């Protein structure tokens, strides 16, 4: 990579940041598209977050992605925040312009685009469809990632969202928070009932950390799950989680979580570097190898 004096700059802020795949992902697009620009990993401690953001803005950065643990602080920092990010309660993409900061959240977009691209690319007989309108979705987990997924489902027209979390109170807070003013009813179910609620489900999403490498497995029986249900996991290490492996074996359509990471990066890249990037099989391989 050779930069000119006019190079465009962006990056990702997190603490820690060394595990992030975003620099490799954006670096791939920059190289592929021959753009005079760079995207850097920026390890910033929480107490320095605001100073660092101002410093980057005054240094001419086009903006940054924001990851754990700064997403809520980013919402407070930005001069303007888009309504979707406000609903989710977190900002993951900031654009600097004329000394002002504009915050958005692209996780919901990434989640839906991943499902759309994967399901559209599948040559399957009419057993599956991804018509969200009026659908029933079961969402496991009520952490930060769950918020983006639920908002995405509401906006895609899902009418019946069953939210199941080990800590029920957390799910109730989330449901109350996201229900007001939005379509898509959220019903909270007990963690112990997670096998039963799969009856009649069109889409099953795991947003918990269960099944991730180094974490306990997700204990779930899919006996009640219709064969037509699409199953997706936001965990992408391993790419085929035990849940996805089990679902695939019994004939369900599965969508892995890597695509959500790749698609959520698209709007930021376009805003900072001025070109529309594509999510391809080659990109998936490249990011996984890193």
Q: What is the contact surface with ligand ATR in residues (CB under 6 A)?
A: 141-146, 165-167, 170, 207-210, 216
- Distance of closest approach, residue 166 Cβ to ligand ATR, in angstroms: 3
Residue nearest to ligand ATR (CB): 143
Nearer to ligand ATR, 143 or 251 (CB): 143
Q: How far is the CB of 169 from ligand ATR (least distance, A)?
A: 9
Catalytic choice (21, 71, 136, 253): 71
Q: 174 or 203, CB closer to ligand ATR?
A: 174
Among residues 48, 33, 41, 43, the alpha carbon closest in space to that of 9 is found at 41
Least spacing, CB of residue 92 vs ligand ATR, in Å:
11
**11 or 141: CB nearest ligand ATR:** 141
Yes or no: say if 73 and 103 are a contact pair by the CB < 8 Å rule.
no
Q: Is 32 a catalytic residue?
A: no
Nearer to ligand ATR, 135 or 174 (CB): 174
CB of 286 to ligand ATR, least distance (A): 24
Which residues have a catalytic role annotated? 71
């Amino acid at each position: 990579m050779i930069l000119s004096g006019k190079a465009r700059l962006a990056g990702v802020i997190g603490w820690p940041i060394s595990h992030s795949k975003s620099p490799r992902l954006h670096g791939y697009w920059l190289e592929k598209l021959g753009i005079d620009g760079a995207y850097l990993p920026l390890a910033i401690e929480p107490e320095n977050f605001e100073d660092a953001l101002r410093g980057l803005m005054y240094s001419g950065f086009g903006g940054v992605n924001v990851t754990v643990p700064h997403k809520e602080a980013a919402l407070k920092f930005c001069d303007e925040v888009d309504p979707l990010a406000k609903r989710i309660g977190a900002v993951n993409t900031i654009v600097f312009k004329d000394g002002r900061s504009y915050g958005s959240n692209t996780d919901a977009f990434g989640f839906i685009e991943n499902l759309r691209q994967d399901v559209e690319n599948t040559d399957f007989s009419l057993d599956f469809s991804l018509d969200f309108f009026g659908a029933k979705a079961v969402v496991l987990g009520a952490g930060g990632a769950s918020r983006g997924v639920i908002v995405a489902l509401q906006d895609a027209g899902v009418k019946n969202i069953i939210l199941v979390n080990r800590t029920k109170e957390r799910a109730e807070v989330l449901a109350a928070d996201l229900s007001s003013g939005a379509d898509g009813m959220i019903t909270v179910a007990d963690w112990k009932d997670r096998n039963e609620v799969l009856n009649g489900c069109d889409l099953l999403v795991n947003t918990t950390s269960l099944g991730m490498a180094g974490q306990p497995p997700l204990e779930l029986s899919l006996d009640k799950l219709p064969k037509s249900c699409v199953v997706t996991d936001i965990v992408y290490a391993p790419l085929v989680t035990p849940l996805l492996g089990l679902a695939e074996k019994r004939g369900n359509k599965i969508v892995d979580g890597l695509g959500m990471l790749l698609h959520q990066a698209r709007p930021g890249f376009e805003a900072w570097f001025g070109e529309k990037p594509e999510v391809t099989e080659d990109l998936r391989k490249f990011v996984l190898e890193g």
